[in-house]
């Protein structure tokens, strides 16, 4: 009987110790917990004040340029807002250094490839390129927008107007029927017009080496990049 009584006392004592331990842990955990406040978009000073209100330690991990947030404003935070954290924990933040700016280089007078390289090295993006035929001896940048010397955000877009030079001349294809193939070929070479190999066909009584057909036809436009094909009598 005495043994049973001691066992009952021990059970009650153990139950009390377990309940007390559970309550102590629960109270210690929940009484020291806090909700992480949202600080993204706030200035560094405002974010620090919000962290102190939540009994957290505010710490700036790093700074970087940002196109959206002004200088000295929080870009990122950890832990995330709304999470439960222990009081005294660290609220880490990344702070904006503001918008990184660059000075627009002078691209006028450069070849297209050189202008593209200069724009990329300056941290700019080519937005649009327009072309026209002017007086340049090679494709050169005639104007740019924004102008040279303008201070713009990094990754801004720049538009170029490129002078392709004088347009190539266009001739009217003459009627070559009945003329000498050798004479015609030499004359066309003087204008840098390419002539393909002669295609020999039956002359029908026409002297050998005489042109009896042509492509393009007489009266058609003829550019320097076009190839003239001639049919010549055997």
Between residues 51 and 29, the one the model is more confident about: 51
Mean pLDDT of the 164-186 span: 89
Give the residue, 11 or 108, on which the prediction is more confident.
Answer: 108
pLDDT tier at 133, thresholds 50, 70, 90: confident
1-43 pLDDT tens trace: 555 565 555 555 556 555 555 544 554 544 468 999 999 999 9
pLDDT of 99 reads 87
Lowest mean pLDDT among 14-23, 80-89, 204-213, 214-223: 14-23
pLDDT score, position 18: 58
Domains of the chain in sequence order: 36-98 (3.30.10.20), 101-163 (3.30.10.20), 170-233 (3.30.10.20)
- Average pLDDT (208-229) is 90
Mean pLDDT of the chain: 86
Q: What is the 3-state secondary structure (H, E, C) of the chain?
A: CHHHHHHHHHHHHHHHHHHHHHHHHHHHHHHCEEECCCCCCCEHHHHHHHHHHCCCEEEEEEEECCCCCCCCEEEEEECCCCCEEECCCEEEEEEECCCCEEECCCCCCCEHHHHHHHHHHCCCEEEEEEEECCCCCCCEEEEEECCCCCEEECCCEEEEEEECCCCCCEEECCCCCCCEHHHHHHHHHHCCCEECCCEEECCCCCCCCEEEEEECCCCCEEECCCEEEEEEEC
pLDDT over 60 (residue 96): yes
Per-residue pLDDT tens for 52-83?
A: 999 999 999 999 988 788 899 999 999 999 99
């Amino acid at each position: 009987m005495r043994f049973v009584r001691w066992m009952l006392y021990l059970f009650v004592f153990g139950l009390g110790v377990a309940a007390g331990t559970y309550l102590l842990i629960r109270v210690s955990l929940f009484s020291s917990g806090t909700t992480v406040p949202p600080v993204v978009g706030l200035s560094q000073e405002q974010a620090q004040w919000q962290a102190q209100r939540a009994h957290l330690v505010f710490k700036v991990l790093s700074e970087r340029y940002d196109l959206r947030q002004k200088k000295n404003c929080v870009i990122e935070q950890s832990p995330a807002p709304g999470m439960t954290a222990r009081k005294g924990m660290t609220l880490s933040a990344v702070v904006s250094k503001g918008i990184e700016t660059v000075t627009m280089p002078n691209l006028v007078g450069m070849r297209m490839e050189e202008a593209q390289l200069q724009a990329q090295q300056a941290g700019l993006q080519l937005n649009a390129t327009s072309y026209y035929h002017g007086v340049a001896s090679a494709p050169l940048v005639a104007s740019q927008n924004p102008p040279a010397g303008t201070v713009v955000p990094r990754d801004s877009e720049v538009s170029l107007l490129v002078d392709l030079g004088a347009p190539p001349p266009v001739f009217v294809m003459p009627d070559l029927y009945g003329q000498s193939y050798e004479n015609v070929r030499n004359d066309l070479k003087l204008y840098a017009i390419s002539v393909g190999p002669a295609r020999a066909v039956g002359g029908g009584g026409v002297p050998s080496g005489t042109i009896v057909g042509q492509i393009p036809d007489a009266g058609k436009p003829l550019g320097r990049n076009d190839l003239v094909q001639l049919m010549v009598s055997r």
